[in-house]
Amino acid sequence: EEQKRLLENRPDQPQNPKVLRIAIIGAPNAGKSTLSNQLLGRKVFPVSKKVHTTRCKAQGVITHEDTQLIILDTPGLTNPLKARRHNLDETMLTDPWDSMKHADLVLVLVDVSDHWTRNSLSKEVLKCLSQFPHIPSVLVLNKVDILKKKFLLLEIVADLTEGIVNGKKLKVKSAFKQDSSSSAKSPLQITQASPPESKVPGGQEKDQAQEGSGLDKSSDVGGAGTGEARGPKHCGHEDLKDMKGWPHFQEIFMLAALRGEEVDTLKRYLLMQAKPGPWEFHSDVLTNQSPQEICDNIIREKVLEYLPLEVPYGVTQVTDIWEEGECGELLIVQSLLVPRESHKRMLIGRGGKVISRIAREAGQDLMNAFLCDVRLKLKVEVKG
């Protein structure tokens, strides 16, 4: 009831409100929801090692002093063939594009631990960026803590940016000394190639980042990066064929979203990019999802985690009971409907171990999300 009231009421406005709508796009499983949760400071989006955990576009809201950041956590960009294989809704294909239409800034998230995909942006991501070239974009390299050979980051950056950041050519030089096995924090620690008029949060951090990055800004490219910079042109399908990266990123960030490393640096940057404009949500709102949607997402996350291969994508969730007790505790009973008897046996597990673990872990996440006691009961049935 409280969440409904906050979403329906007009937001409280400070005297000079600022707002920024941020679309986070990337390949499935790049870590978009993990990053969104870290920026919000609480888990409201489902996270799993399996692809397509996020099934619809949901919004997270960060309110800091006079500024509101609205994070559009979108499904991973995919194609119709993969959508059919994973039994995905049509909206999984359209939601990321809809989010882009409403964004003031786009974060492109790349998983650098995946050596198959880290040196080029997927065709879906490039298509998305080329459709909305007027929206400023920022490259975010995730999971840098997993990358053992840190010098590879220079190569990855050169590929993903086509050697150009903020209209400046990047000149690669070795700045790593013997530190190739250092932690996630070393190379490109903060950002590269800041626009002349913007300041990087934290004072001296920009110089330190530039020093440790191994990337130099060189000459301007076609007048970009200056006051009269012309925006990137719309790219056709033919142009995209030969592109591995996007030469119009304004900044580069490197972080480890799961561990929270450098997430605050990105958050400070986003707060600084906000423009004057009315808030869309009350300052107490953390997400536009209903409690039931959060509950469904968290349970589905666990089902995805503990069932093999394609099995979890066929599970349907039905909430039978949702009751608030006298002391504020929440009783939730949910039925998980599966298409086959064999799937039911898998989901229950030997001696009920799998379903018990899912209920226990989902219940704990729900307590952390709702900040109250939660009693969660799960039943498994074959679809009638």
pLDDT tens digits, 358-377: 999 999 999 988 889 999 99
CATH 3.30.300.20 holds for 291-382:
yes
CA max distance for the chain: 68
Strands 105-111 and 18-26: parallel
Question: According to the model, what pLDDT value does residue 145 have?
Answer: 92
Q: Tell me the CATH class for 1-173+239-276.
A: alpha beta
The helix or strand, by DSSP H or E, that contains position 130, with its residue range, turns out to be helix 123-131
Q: How far apart are CA 375 and CA 353, in angstroms?
A: 18
Which residues neighbour 117 within 8 Å (Cβ) at sequence distance 6 or greater?
27, 110, 111
**Helix spans in 170-311 (H):** 205-213, 237-241, 263-273, 291-306
Residue spans in the chain of domains classed CATH 3.40.50.300: 1-173+239-276
Share of the chain above pLDDT 70, in %: 72
Q: How far apart are CA 319 and CA 314, in angstroms?
A: 17
Q: Which residue has the tokens 């995730």?
A: 142
How far the first Cα of the chain sits from its last, in Å, is: 33
Average pLDDT, the chain: 78
> What are the counts of helices (DSSP H) followed by strands (DSSP E) for the chain?
12, 13
Interval 194-242: pLDDT, tens: 333 333 343 333 333 333 334 555 555 543 333 333 456 555 555 677 7
Question: According to the model, what pLDDT value does residue 63 have?
Answer: 94
- Whether the CB-CB separation of 294 and 288 falls below 8 Å is answered with no
Interval 320-372: pLDDT, tens: 999 998 888 999 999 999 999 999 999 999 999 999 999 999 999 999 888 89
Buried b (16+ CB within 10 A) or exposed e, 104-139: bbbbbbbbbbeeebbbbbbebbbebbbebeebbbbb
Question: According to the model, what pLDDT value does residue 204 have?
Answer: 37
Question: According to the model, what pLDDT value does residue 57 have?
Answer: 62
State yes or no: pLDDT of 162 exceeds 80.
Answer: yes
State yes or no: pLDDT of 22 exceeds 70.
Answer: yes
Question: According to the model, what pLDDT value does residue 183 have?
Answer: 42
Question: According to the model, what pLDDT value does residue 225 have?
Answer: 38
State yes or no: pLDDT of 276 exceeds 90.
Answer: yes
Q: How far apart are CA 267 and CA 205, in angstroms?
A: 14
- The stretch 292-302 carries a mean pLDDT of 91
Rounded to 10 degrees, what is the CA torsion of 278, 284, 285, 286? 120
Share of the chain above pLDDT 90, in %: 43
Q: How many Cβ atoms are within 10 Å of 361's Cβ, its own excluded? A: 17
- Whether the CB-CB separation of 286 and 39 falls below 8 Å is answered with no
SS3 293: helix
Residue spans in the chain of domains classed CATH 3.30.300.20: 291-382
